[in-house]
Amino acid sequence: MGNSELNTVGQSVRRKEDYRFLTGCGQYTDDVNPPHHTHAYFLRSPHAHANIRRIDTAKAKAAPGVVAVYTGADLTGVNGLPCGWLITGTDGQPMKEPPHPVLAQGKVRYVGDGFAMVIAETPAQAKDAAELIDVDYDAVPAVVNPVEALKAGAPQIHDGAPGNKCYTWALGDKAAVDAAFAKAAHVTQLDIVNNRLIPNAIEPRAAVASYSRADDGYTLYVTSQNPHVERLLMTAFVLGLPETKVRVIAPDVGGGFGSKIYLYPEETAMVWASKRVNRPIKWTAERSESFLADAHGRDHVTHAELALDPDGKFLAMRVHTTAAMGAYLSTFASCIPTILYATLLAGQYTTPAIYCEVTAAFTNTAPVDAYRGAGRPEATYVVERLVHAAASEMGIAQDEIRRRNFIREFPYQTPVALLYDTGGYDACLDEAMRIADVQGFAARKAEAAKRGKLRGLGYAAYIEACGLAPSNIAGTLGARAGLYEVGQVRVNPTGGVTVFTGSHSHGQGHETTFSQVVASRLGIPIENVEIVHGDTGRIPFGMGTYGSRSLAVGGTAIIKALDKVVAKGKKIAAHLLEAAEADIEFKDGKFTVAGTDRSKAFGEVALAAYVPHNYPLDKLEPGLDETAFYDPTNFTFPAGTHICEVEIDPDTGKVAIVNFSACDDFGNIINPMIVEGQVHGGVVQGIGQALLEQCVYDQESGQLLTGSYMDYALPRADDVPSFKVTTKVTPCTHNPLGAKGCGEAGAIGAPAALMNAVHDALSAAGVTYLDMPATPHRVWSALQAAKH
């Protein structure tokens, strides 16, 4: 029979990569040990804000095992780290981009700001020597809160950013919004803090940099989500090296969540130094360094208002957000609270007028950048908290107020720049309510009340924009890079296929999902497909993985390359079968002359391409190796409804999640098991933000108070329930896979669903407002305050 059993699209194929991960055979950056390598240690500021009067490295240089010690003064000819997205302010001026030095010089601006690098024979020797560096600090007042940073008299962090302001930016029709508010029957207002998070990938950041005098070239192994972008920024903007002389390899990477998108100072300094010491240099962050110096996420302070008519129809939304940038602009910091935030404020609703103003502030903290969801969780949180509060205030059921405002006609142009191609919001809401057993909630609440517990139910009908995205639109919005993806399909002479993708897998399961796509299209076994990613030396220039883009953009690039392979295969088959090319059909792994039983298997055609003895060499090149670059015409718009049920113990304030249900629309699904895993992981991260996680800096000293797992609470298995997860499908209309992306949805929907449930539970006790995370202490304190 044909090979339809080889079509695994839509099946939960077990992950190809898990054998090596589960047997300890993964090859991570820290597993790379070039001969004669040295070890780097970075000396970091213990102060949040200090002038450095003097650095004396003499003792460190003389310490045992030390190869070299460098400070910022040594890095002559090295530029600062660039920001990849230019935001233009409401005043028409470009954002302030103060220098982001590879090693801080003259001044340190947050606890963890690196200013010296010690290279030694062992990590311990490097660390011992770093303690011998004599530094004369002049500590000055620090400011860690973005609202405080913008106030008059706040400590000034950069000379080039007066008032610590990076930009004020706005989106939407302010006049229309103000007019709508003026005639609203009801206005709901909230002041919201979106808590700062620390990413905590299981593998800390690491790098191994080598220089070869043989070709005057560099090789960098690094924990990166996008090695080509890393190379481009490092060579062209910072080090002034030709791209051709630097190979960046991101091997197995143990989680990123955004934090490994960016070009960081450490690996940049190491590449620079590898030529000077003429030996490979290795660095793996200690977990304490990860807390201090990985780019953090979120950190918004927002005032949000929703205007409604008497029936609960949304008339307008007005949002003012202050967003922390941290001490320096990280690679994509500027676009997160703007382009990826304000554009999502329509949510799933027909709100006709929306205005959002964002002021970005420098603070004496680690830089802030994208973290799973990146702007979209913050937007969903604003929208869905407003909707919940409005429904509560107006006495409208939570599902009903959403239904009264859902978008139902597509394509839909929002007032905040996005064009939704497709969606089915009622279907997800209905299904989520069914699996959450919303009908039985009143009885469960009454039963809980008998036990002295407070039950609550919360909804989040979220939307996200994924598949980042059309380069030309991104360019007009300030992107300094393209946002396409590349796929190369190399058919080997024996019929096996090697696929080179510009996407990068650091936990997403691309090696399986992409193999399913390729094997199904070519009608070959999945084992015959090899996915290669993460190496600028092997792969055409690609953009990497973030923003749930890999399948929708990277997968489509592979599809386009497959189309070229099949088209050329038809030409070869036509020659071999002595038929017209137009009569050749390709199906189930065979090229067949239409209407006949004459055919050539895919492998036979591949062999003919590489052993072209009987081949139309006058008309066709030998070989079967095709590349496609794909630039989408639009974002994709995954959406869904999450429903969370909590039970609160008023004696302790502890919130228990008794039920979490999600119905998501990710478009077409290749591997349901991997999708479900992505939802689980995302929801757990969302629960982490809502219940547990909070990065705290001391307001006075600027010290990081949550610098380890002793004080920074990550969710554990027993903090979360068994999830009820399902999907509905409206295929994306503008990519051939019909896929939208699923990587971030959980982290986007869960915080709002959970916090709405907490508010629902606490409302009977008189609590009206609580910020994330809803820790026991915070919930109990709110209950006490409501009593008085």
Residues at the site binding another protein, with contacts judged by CB under 8 A = 124, 127-128, 288, 651-654, 692, 696, 705-706, 709-714, 775-777, 780-781, 784
Nearer to another protein, 352 or 776 (CB): 776
Shortest reach from residue 770's CB to another protein, in Å? 15
Nearer to another protein, 191 or 651 (CB): 651
Query: Buried (b) or exposed (e) across 645-667, using 16+ Cβ within 10 A?
Result: bbbbbbeebbbebebbbbbbbbb
Nearer to another protein, 256 or 707 (CB): 707
Nearer to another protein, 631 or 719 (CB): 719
Shortest reach from residue 72's CB to another protein, in Å? 25
Nearer to another protein, 125 or 380 (CB): 125
**Pairing status of strand 353-362 against strand 107-108:** unpaired
Shortest reach from residue 403's CB to another protein, in Å? 36
Nearer to another protein, 60 or 519 (CB): 60
In this structure, are residues 280 and 38 in contact, taking their beta carbons and an 8 Å threshold?
Answer: yes
Shortest reach from residue 751's CB to another protein, in Å? 16
Shortest reach from residue 265's CB to another protein, in Å? 23
Q: Please, what sign has the CA dihedral across residues 728, 729, 732, 738?
A: positive
Write the single-letter amino acid at 362: F
Q: Tell me, what DSSP letter sits at residue 269?
A: H
Q: How many residues does the chain have?
A: 788
* Alpha carbon 355 to its chain's center: 25
Shortest reach from residue 354's CB to another protein, in Å? 36
Query: Buried (b) or exposed (e) across 375-409, using 16+ Cβ within 10 A?
Result: bbbbbbbbbbbbbbbbbbeeebebbebbbbbbbee
Nearer to another protein, 237 or 780 (CB): 780
Nearer to another protein, 167 or 712 (CB): 712
Q: Tell me, what DSSP letter sits at residue 14?
A: P
* Alpha carbon 680 to its chain's center: 16
Shortest reach from residue 651's CB to another protein, in Å? 5
Q: Which helix (H) or strand (E) holds 305?
A: strand 300-308
Nearer to another protein, 459 or 697 (CB): 697
CA distances from 3 to 307, 520, 583, 590, 660 (A): 57, 9, 21, 9, 40
In this structure, are residues 315 and 180 in contact, taking their beta carbons and an 8 Å threshold?
Answer: yes
Shortest reach from residue 342's CB to another protein, in Å? 31
CA distances from 526 to 309, 446, 523 (A): 56, 53, 9
Nearer to another protein, 446 or 785 (CB): 785
Strand boundaries in 173-288, DSSP class E: 186-194, 206-212, 217-222, 246-249, 281-284
Shortest reach from residue 294's CB to another protein, in Å? 18
Among 317, 337, 316, 314, which Cα is nearest to 325's?
337
Residue 218 to residue 239: CA distance in whole angstroms: 12
Nearer to another protein, 44 or 275 (CB): 44
Nearer to another protein, 591 or 697 (CB): 697
Taking residue 328's Cβ as centre, other Cβ atoms within 10 Å add up to: 26
End-to-end Cα, the chain, rounded Å: 76
Shortest reach from residue 293's CB to another protein, in Å? 16
Shortest reach from residue 703's CB to another protein, in Å? 12
Nearer to another protein, 11 or 781 (CB): 781
Write the single-letter amino acid at 655: V
Q: Which helix (H) or strand (E) holds 139?
A: strand 134-139
Shortest reach from residue 64's CB to another protein, in Å? 11
Nearer to another protein, 95 or 695 (CB): 695
In sequence order, what are the residues at sequence separation of 6 or more whose Cβ sits closer than 8 angstroms to the Cβ of residue 618? none
Nearer to another protein, 51 or 652 (CB): 652
Q: Cα-flanking dihedrals φ and ψ of residue 694, to 5°?
A: -160, 120
Burial of 251 (0-12, 13-18, 19+ CB in 10 A): buried
Q: Which helix (H) or strand (E) holds 271?
A: helix 265-277
Residue 317 to residue 387: CA distance in whole angstroms: 11
Shortest reach from residue 283's CB to another protein, in Å? 18
Enumerate the H helices of 341-459 as residue ranges. 376-394, 398-403, 425-435, 441-450
Burial of 447 (0-12, 13-18, 19+ CB in 10 A): exposed
Nearer to another protein, 172 or 653 (CB): 653
Shortest reach from residue 695's CB to another protein, in Å? 11
* Alpha carbon 642 to its chain's center: 20
Shortest reach from residue 128's CB to another protein, in Å? 8
Shortest reach from residue 238's CB to another protein, in Å? 32
Which tokens is 443 given? 């009885």
Residue 689 to residue 460: CA distance in whole angstroms: 15
Nearer to another protein, 213 or 787 (CB): 787
Residue 372 to residue 685: CA distance in whole angstroms: 8
CA distances from 105 to 45, 55, 209 (A): 11, 10, 23
Shortest reach from residue 84's CB to another protein, in Å? 33
Residue 154 to residue 225: CA distance in whole angstroms: 36
In sequence order, what are the residues at sequence separation of 6 or more whose Cβ sits closer than 8 angstroms to the Cβ of residue 527? none
Shortest reach from residue 739's CB to another protein, in Å? 37
Strand boundaries in 407-491, DSSP class E: 412-413, 419-420, 454-463, 485-491
Nearer to another protein, 61 or 654 (CB): 654
